[in-house]
Homo-oligomer: A and B are copies of this chain.
Amino acid sequence: MTELLRVLGIDPGLAATGFGVVDGDGRAATVVTLGAIRTRAKDARAQRLAQISEFIGALIEEHRPQELAIEQQFVAHNVRSAFAIGEVRSAAMVAAATRGVDVFEYAPTAVKEAVTGYGAAPKEQVRHMVMVHLGLSEEPSPLDASDALAIALTRLAELPAEAALARTARVRGGAASADE
């Protein structure tokens, strides 16, 4: 009965941005495609951001995800690296929003919680559970792709609760709506 939702997960990085497209209904999920977008350190920052933006745009046009999921900006120890991640985040969000794809942002702890049930899980455990959830026989490569799949799974994990809320609203005779 439940329709499949197709989510593009993005793990942003200037040198390598992981991506993973996942279909799921909140119970089972399967990988559509995964990989990493690499840019060269010798190219100008604007060129690298444009390459990432165009690649994500092409991914969206090919695979038609309904939503994009990405980690929220966090305050890193290395501020320069945090700015670079923020710029890639922006390039990805713009590529989605300009194509009508809804963007969902999650804190790193929310991703760990959703995938492993434990908000402080080590990275290795998150990667292992990504394999389990997606029925993969080996760890996705590159690891950036695994992290992107974890973020897509975080979005899909919200679906059962959303469906339950929608059912409650129907039972109570109201339309499910977030507007006033």
Contacts and interface: CB of A to CB of B under 8 A. Distances in A.
Identical copies of this chain, number: 2
Summarize A's interface: helix, strand, loop or mixed: helix
Interface residues of A, number: 27
Nearest to A47: B97
Nearest to A70: B46
Given A49-B94, A86-B83, A103 B44 contact: yes
A93 interface: yes
A155 interface: no
B94 A46 contact: yes
Interface of A: 44-47, 49-50, 53-54, 68, 73, 75, 79, 82-83, 86-91, 93-94, 96-98, 103, 105
